[in-house]
Structure formats: C-alpha cells, structure tokens
Amino acid sequence: MNTASWIQRARLEMIDIGVESIRDSGILPERGAKFFPVIGYPPLTMFSDMDQGPLFDNLQQRRARPLLGYAHIPFCPSRCTFCHWITKTKSKSEEVDIYLDYLEREMILYKQNMGLDAIPVQSVLIGGGTPTYPSPAKMERFMKMYTTHYDLSGCTQFSVEAEPGTLLGKEGYEKLRIMKDYGVDRISLGVQSFDDDILRYMGRVHTHAHTLESIRNMRKAGIENVFIDLIYGYPNQTVEMWTRHMLEAVTLDIEGYQLYRLRIKQHGDRQGNIIVHAQKHPERFPDTDEVLLMKYLGILISEEHGFHEYQTRCFARKPEYISHYLRDWAAELADVAGVGVSAWSTLRGVFAINVGDTNLQNYYSLIDQGKVAINRGKARTKDDELRRSFILPLKNMKVNKQLFTERTGENISHVFKNEVAWLKQLGLLEENDQDICLTKLGKYFADEVATQFFNPDYMPFQEVIRAPPQIAVG
C-alpha cells in the first residue's frame, strides 16, 4: 500500500470511529488545537515551595510502595528548539566531573534520609539531557556510583536515554559496552525525525545516517531493547512525510517507539525556543487536522505492522519492551527516588521536585547545605490520591476496580459515577465487571479524557466542558 492509500484509509477510519463528534463535544481545548500531556497527577503547576522535610519525615510510618529510580544528567550536544528540559551545552570535562561529584553526594544524602545502605529499585531510568553525552570514562564513573548507592538486585529494567550522535564509532561503542557491563538493557534513543532538514531545523546535530549507525552500534554491544522517540506536528513536516517515516520506523531493527506530539508550551522549568517559531512562523506548523491525522496514522501503521500500543503513545513488538519505569509509575502507582537537577521524586504520598535551573550552582548550594536538592513539592490530599489512582492507570492502561478499592478504600462506581457514565455515552470509555478502560476512540484522546477526572482547580484549560452533574444513564 502506498503512502496516499494509508492516508486515505486513516481519514476514513477516523470518520468511522467518530473523531469529529469528539472534536465537537467540547472536551478538547480549542477543538484539539491545544493539548496537555498528562504525565503525573497532581500536575507540576500545583506544587509550591518545599524543602526535603515532608518527603522524608516519618517515612517508616507511611505506607510503602514499589520504588523506581531516576537520575538526571543535564549535558547535551546542542540545545534543541523544541526542548523544555533543563539541559547544558558546550560543557567542559571538569564541569561534568563537578556535577557527578554533587550527584553522588545527593545519592548518599538520599539513602541516608531513607535510612538505607542502598536504595532498592524495581526499575531505573537515567534521563536528561543526554546521559550518553559524557565520555566513556565519565560514563563508567556514573554507572559505578549508581550501582553502588542503589540496590539493583530486584531491578527488572535498566533504561538510559540517548542521542544518536553520542553513540557513534569506537567511542560510542565503548560507552555502550560499559552500560551493558553495568546492566543497562534498554536504550531510548532520541531520533525525533528521519529527515535531515527537519533535524537541522530542530537544532539537532545528528543526521538520519547517524541514527542508523547508532542502532547498529547498540546491537553490536548487545543492548537487548532499543526504543526510539519520534515527534509529529513539527514545522515543515507534512502528513505524507510522516507516513513515510512511520513506514520506515516499522522496518527498523528496534523493539518499539514512543510517538510524541510536539508540545509548544513548556511543561517544566524552562520554555523551549519553539514558541518563538510558533509566533513568527505559524504557517510552517501543520494545522490541527493534519496533526490529528498524523496521530491516527501512527496508531494505524503501528498496529498493522505488529507494534502494539501497550501503553498510551508507546508502541512495542512485545509488552515487556515498554519502559518499566513508565509502566510501574502508571499501573502500580510506584514511588520514585529521583536525583539530579530538576529530578522529581514521590515517596509515600509526598511529591517533590529538585531545583530546576540551568545555573547548576543553585543545585550545588542545597547539597552543600547537606540537603537533597528539593525546592518544591506537594503532600497529596485524599482527593489527590483518589483522582491519581484513577487517572494514571486509565490514561496509560486500564483501571482495575478491585485494585482501586484496595488503594483508596472507595468504590469506583460511587466516586466517578457521572464522569464515567458521560464518557461512556461519548464512546470514550468502556467498562466490565473488573475494569474501566479507554475505547479505541478514547485511547486516541487519552490526555483529554484523563483531564476530565482532574480536580476542577487543577484543570490546565478552563474552557473545556466537564461531565454534567446529572446525566440520563440509559
């Protein structure tokens, strides 16, 4: 089937499943033109000033959860136009060493505060920034400290984010070999696009040829699970080009991919430059209909080639290949012990986020005071816990009714009765005796459905319609 036929089929299926009726239903901000990816709940915008106190106080008396590990390495080969994360470019070798010194001090403070010799984690994500940017010697140093201060004996997956240009040739292979030796079994590669002009426009310093070479290098080093990230909705990207790229993605020697819709407004501590492009050159951006079509094409082409959406926006050949860190975060509502600038944690009912500032001195100065570098957070209320126990499993997988009751002490059909009934009428949710989950149409609008369960005060967009208080349940 050629690209035009895929596009035609996607258009027809979108009509068939009723995408247009949802666009008119009032639950999409600006009929889908704005969107808010639901990653955690409550959203970061609801955090206020906080130090490490509430995260660790009376830890032993609070109910334990499975624990995941995160570490943030902020260094990158370039500053990408679309990126809202805390990153540093053109870093000298000594700067990386200083950061690693402080990161190790923070790991030690963290485990002391938890009263542990090593923090036992059930899965790990090393993210950034670009954790594979530092040299092989620094990679070895990092791996050594991480595996010293964290207990990985029960760890089901050790995943690292990477940029293709940092994994090339002998040096790239050396980094991969070191990671493999320390137990890394999954790499999530920031490919973003297969088109060199778009990559340049994104401010990336790698090319498509580098992407292919880095995948070969990962295979040579024996990395079992290779995932790639792709972005749709980017300036100058056409539906036809995206279709071709999706058809190429399914032929690569990889276990899966994550498809990200371009986010123009920041979601963290830093606003990416993409907003300036959106203001100056709106004509370069695909329109909302095209973006929604790209999203559908991603789902359709994946399913037809054996890549299933085991978690919203994560497509894999087998369920075990998706990120265990993201899976356990959503399905088990696992806790997270996060270290590094801008890293976040959640321990036994309390959220915390570290200083998010490209001036690393602000991160260092808290550690110099003998504290983990937290400066904001939120102790979750009963309402937060209730909504979180529904929103995260729903958006990412499904909500098991019995588990919901075990976690919250509440009966789901009492708590969200109206919302569930209304979203079922819209064809977005389905329910059986055990579970509530998104329909095919609901999965397509997973973020928008999830925000329907937000506390009204936490809504990212006030203009969207919410479940009417009384509805006729047929």
Write out the residues near ligand SF4 by the rule CB under 6 A.
76, 79-80, 83, 85, 87, 128-130, 163, 190
Q: Do 178 and 140 contact (CB within 8 A), yes or no?
A: yes
Per DSSP, the three-state class of 381 is coil
In the complex with ligand SAM, the residue whose CB is nearer, 56 or 201, is 201
Q: Minimum Å distance from CB 128 to ligand SF4? A: 5
In the complex with ligand SAM, the residue whose CB is nearer, 190 or 377, is 190
Q: Which residue is nearest to ligand SAM (CB)?
A: 190
Q: Minimum Å distance from CB 82 to ligand SAM? A: 4
Q: Which of 104, 140, 161, 174 binds ligand SAM (CB under 6 A)?
A: 161
Total chain residues near ligand SAM (CB under 6 A): 17
How far is residue 276's CA from residue 407's CA, in Å, rounded to a whole number? 44
Centroid of chain to Cα 27: 23
Residue 244 site contact among ligand SF4, ligand SAM, none (CB < 5 to 8 Å, cut-off depends on kind)? none
The DSSP code for 8 is H
Residue 295 site contact among ligand SF4, ligand SAM, none (CB < 5 to 8 Å, cut-off depends on kind)? none
Q: Minimum Å distance from CB 86 to ligand SF4? A: 9
> In terms of DSSP bridges, do strands 256-261 and 225-232 run parallel, antiparallel, or are they unpaired?
parallel
| Residue 106 CB neighbours (<10 A) | 25
Q: Do 195 and 234 contact (CB within 8 A), yes or no?
A: no
Give the binding range for ligand SAM (CB under 6 A) out of 57-65, 127-135, 218-226, 344-352.
Answer: 127-135
Place of tokens 């978690």: 311
Q: Which of 192, 243, 312, 439 binds ligand SAM (CB under 6 A)?
A: 192
Q: Which of 391, 392, 383, 413 is nearest to 401 (CA)?
A: 413
How far is residue 335's CA from residue 347's CA, in Å, rounded to a whole number? 5
Q: Is residue 109 near ligand SAM by the rule CB under 6 A? A: no
Give the binding range for ligand SAM (CB under 6 A) out of 66-74, 124-132, 311-319, 334-342.
Answer: 124-132
The CA radius of gyration of the chain, in Å to the nearest whole number, is 22
Give the binding range for ligand SAM (CB under 6 A) out of 194-202, 260-268, 276-284, 343-351.
Answer: 260-268
In the complex with ligand SF4, the residue whose CB is nearer, 130 or 375, is 130
| Residue 251 CB neighbours (<10 A) | 8
Site track for ligand SAM across 60-99, x = CB under 6 A: ----------------------xxxx--------------
In the complex with ligand SAM, the residue whose CB is nearer, 265 or 305, is 265
In the complex with ligand SF4, the residue whose CB is nearer, 83 or 155, is 83
Q: Minimum Å distance from CB 166 to ligand SAM? A: 8
How far is residue 290's CA from residue 105's CA, in Å, rounded to a whole number? 48
Q: What are the residues whose beta carbons fall under 8 Å from the beta carbon of 243, sequence distance 6 or more?
A: 3, 6, 7, 297, 301
Centroid of chain to Cα 63: 26
The DSSP code for 253 is S
How far are the Cα atoms of 65, 124, 337, 450 from residue 150, in angstroms, in the given order?
A: 16, 10, 10, 33
Q: Minimum Å distance from CB 131 to ligand SF4? A: 10
In the complex with ligand SAM, the residue whose CB is nearer, 229 or 385, is 229
Residue 260 site contact among ligand SF4, ligand SAM, none (CB < 5 to 8 Å, cut-off depends on kind)? ligand SAM
Q: Minimum Å distance from CB 129 to ligand SF4? A: 5
In the complex with ligand SF4, the residue whose CB is nearer, 85 or 364, is 85
Q: Can you state the angle between helices 136-149 and 93-114, rounded to 10 degrees?
A: 10
Tokens representing residue 158 in the block: 């050790």
Q: Minimum Å distance from CB 5 to ligand SF4? A: 33
Q: Which of 224, 229, 430, 447 binds ligand SAM (CB under 6 A)?
A: 229
- Cα 277-20-387 angle, rounded to 5 deg: 80
- DSSP percent split of the chain into helix, strand, coil, nearest 5: 45, 20, 35
Q: Which of 107, 126, 184, 231 binds ligand SAM (CB under 6 A)?
A: 231
Give the binding range for ligand SAM (CB under 6 A) out of 255-263, 334-342, 369-377, 453-461.
Answer: 255-263
Q: Minimum Å distance from CB 132 to ligand SF4? A: 10
Q: Which of 263, 317, 398, 443 binds ligand SAM (CB under 6 A)?
A: 263
Region for 392 from its dihedrals, namely left if φ exceeds 0, alpha if ψ lies in -120 to 50, beta otherwise: alpha
Helix ranges (H only) for 115-230 are 136-149, 169-181, 196-201, 208-220
Q: Is residue 130 near ligand SAM by the rule CB under 6 A? A: yes
Q: Minimum Å distance from CB 197 to ligand SAM? A: 18
Sign of the dihedral through C-alpha 81, 83, 84, 86: negative
Q: Is residue 447 near ligand SAM by the rule CB under 6 A? A: no
Centroid of chain to Cα 18: 28
- Applying CB under 6 A, the residues found at the interface with ligand SAM are 82-85, 127-128, 130, 161, 163, 190, 192, 229, 231, 260, 262-263, 272
